[in-house]
A and B are shown apart, each in its own frame.
Chain A
């Protein structure tokens, strides 16, 4: 058979084949669920036929043969759906796998044909008269289909192929573009400096004009027509000055427009590097089918939000953790059909995967309606792993217990089966998600099911960071790793053998100075208070003393390269608005550095201390800084406080724990403060919890609306201060536990 010079077309073929195989796989799944689905069958025939044609053209005879057999089988199945029994489906899926493998090999430049004899024989046996198929007709069809002339494309299937207006561009080129956007901002800043210079020049000119006017009036100027001349000069100067002012105004407008365009450009460039989640999700129906078969489960999979887009780099890394979660859900979560029926559930388990964008985050939820995770089992495993004594564990909340499954090496009897042999544990899931700047949360209800929530950034290029100062230099810490911002009274931090320790919410946390870790010059001593960030990475929690905390910002993340590639202290760097570079700290590496240096010892077992129950306040606030501020004020006054980042999360927290008061912001993603308040008031259990609305909105209408939905108090952010907030809180729920001893210290100290 004469093939064309195929090399030039391989790339195109690979792309086409991937698409066709994807369609085949999707149609096959549909067909398996509804065996008499003629549309699915027709679609599969069409795809197999086209694939055969293209493969033949390029001389890929092994592929064309497999495709040919598929085509035959579909033709027969159209007449007699019984051909497609369970064995046939397994074989068909196997055939698609073989074709995919071959395509991926081609993509990597390997054109070695596969051994397909066995597969073809099995496929042929399905259509041959000896298999319970129709009499002899199958062979005839096979012959007819085989007439396709080698080296020519088959007639195009009905309907024109959709044109795709897209272009392949290398990531490097896109990165080049991303680099230019911040550069534009810097240029614009420079232009604004020039603007200032011009303004000063204009002022000088204006002044000069006034001087000339005055000179005209001086005695003696009237002679020789000097006054007239000076008058003309003054007019000229006045007119120049006017023109300059006009110019300045226009210039200023131009700059504003330039800034807007620059910002838009930056956003568009970021969007260029995004892919839809379908690239990951579309493999799931097949994976779920296979897993369900392996474990003898029945699973109905629902996928939502496959069109949700996020950074290509995240998409690439998130697939494996998701598959692991999927496997966990099917293996451990969803019960066998028999068990489900006995438990009063439908035999088929429901598995929902849902993705949606919330502001700058992508939330991926995976929920099953299986048996849930048993806190009793978790406790038993925790005792086995000697994480804490049994009596201690009795006091742990379900939430704290659930958190244990993310510990490296932690396993319960139900979670140990590692079906894949890949050994990816939940700790790896948390690690990968954490490295991407995201977080994993897990909720589980016994006999009702488990929900895992992945909270991912929209783009790796954009990173939310808190800017901190140490040793006179700025550093960035990813916001996702910052748990708390504390102000510590310098005196009274106990010096344990391992180094200083502070107690935050009953948890002993090692404390270390960022400047000392990085060997920078120490901050001025003698300050009564120190600022510390409680940082969290892969479960290691520690507090970092910094000279100051600056604002929170969204920065364009860049990797460090060259000789800095191998250092670990910094995850990357970013360019600030003024053109300065700020290194971005890797919290995990910092923790390891701190442990290695004598500054701090690892405190593996976390001490927990039951505390008398103070008034418990839920702060609902989407801004980290504002939330932490309020939380700290409340903690300092002896209340217990926690933060929910929006109304939906607040409702979740409200369900889980008892709260005495809710302080909520108005403008938040997902559910705003008005709606939250309204929902609370409509809720049987929570209707009596007092609500304070804290907001920057100061219109009378908003205030009225706040009270209409049932808020107890309305505090303006601009008049927001500690005293006023605390007065309001006290008015509603009384004093905090230790309001008597004065210093505004947010942290209670261990062992004092």
Chain B
């Protein structure tokens, strides 16, 4: 009778996988105290460069849908995002870091942050990976970086995707 195809797993979006990875990370960091000195970071891409922020400051990763521009908003504000009924101000990291301006692509990702007292998020190109970083490996930004760019980072660390700039979020959100 009916010809059935073998059940294939539903294709999962990158954000879903990342979220799972985040959960796994959180569990392991709870489970093994010996690993505690390694701090998990979320790595993401802007153009071909990789940037990182501590998972601790991450609330959620989602596809960027229907970003609402706000006329007259400060330059570092990309607009407003509806995250499950909550209106969140999305920061345009690209502009804040002084990268070439580019409209958010359809594949852009919204990274919602936590711990800033106010709902905030970042618009990024795509997600790279989750990295467990040994704080000892974090170095100062290279001397070749312009000072105003270097000021946006707490440090850099080498990952397979390149030199990952660890964002100073406290500074970033004060635009």
Contact = CB atoms under 8 A, between A and B. Distances in A.
Contacts of A567: 70, 72-74
B119 A561 contact: yes
Contacts of B3: none
Contact of B85 (A179, A561, A562): A179
A562 B70 contact: no
B173 A562 contact: yes
A170 to B, nearest CB: 15
A473 B77 contact: no
B68 A583 contact: yes
Nearest to B66: A580
B87 interface: yes
Interface stretch (A9-17, A180-188, A342-350, A608-616): A180-188
A564 B70 contact: yes
Contacts of B70: 560, 564, 567, 570, 583
Given A182-B85, A581-B66, A563 B72 contact: no
Given A520-B71, A580-B66, A581-B68, A564 B85 contact: no
A563 B85 contact: no
A562 B113 CA distance: 12
- A471, A573, A580: which has the most chain B beta carbons within 10 Å? A573
B69 interface: yes
B76 interface: yes
Given A563-B76, A564-B73, A575-B87, A581 B119 contact: no
B86 A179 contact: yes
B74 A519 contact: no
B120 interface: yes
A748 interface: no
Given A561-B118, A563-B173, A581-B82, A573 B71 contact: no
A111 B72 CA distance: 48
Nearest to A232: B1
Contacts, number: 76
B77 A580 contact: no
Interface residues of B, number: 26
Interface string A556-571: 0010111111010110
Nearest to A178: B85
A183 B68 CA distance: 17
A179 B81 CA distance: 13
A558 B85 CA distance: 10
B104 to A, nearest CB: 15
A520 B76 CA distance: 18
Contact of A519 (B68, B71, B77, B87): B71
Interface string B115-155: 01011100000000000000000000000000000000000
The main secondary structure of chain B at its interface with chain A is loop
Contacts of B111: none
B31 interface: no
A181 B68 contact: no
Interface string A568-590: 01100101000111110000000
Contacts of B82: 575, 579-581
Interface string A28-66: 000000000000000000000000000000000000000
B67 to A, nearest CB: 9
A518 interface: yes
Interface in A680-736: none
Contacts of A565: 118
A561 B69 contact: no
B68 A562 contact: no
Given A563-B175, A581-B66, A180 B71 contact: no
Contacts of A519: 71-72
Interface string B42-79: 00000000000000000000000010111111101100
Contacts of B72: 518-519, 567, 569
A562 B66 contact: no
Given A520-B71, A561-B119, A564-B77, A573 B87 contact: yes
Nearest to A183: B85
Given A573-B80, A580-B82, A563 B69 contact: no
Contacts of A518: 71-72
Given A179-B86, A570-B70, A581-B80, 5 more contacts: A180-B84, A563-B74, A565-B118, A580-B82, A583-B70
10 contacts: A180-B84, A181-B85, A183-B85, A519-B72, A558-B87, A563-B173, A570-B70, A573-B80, A579-B66, A579-B82
Interface of B: 66, 68-74, 76-77, 80-82, 84-89, 91, 116, 118-120, 173, 175
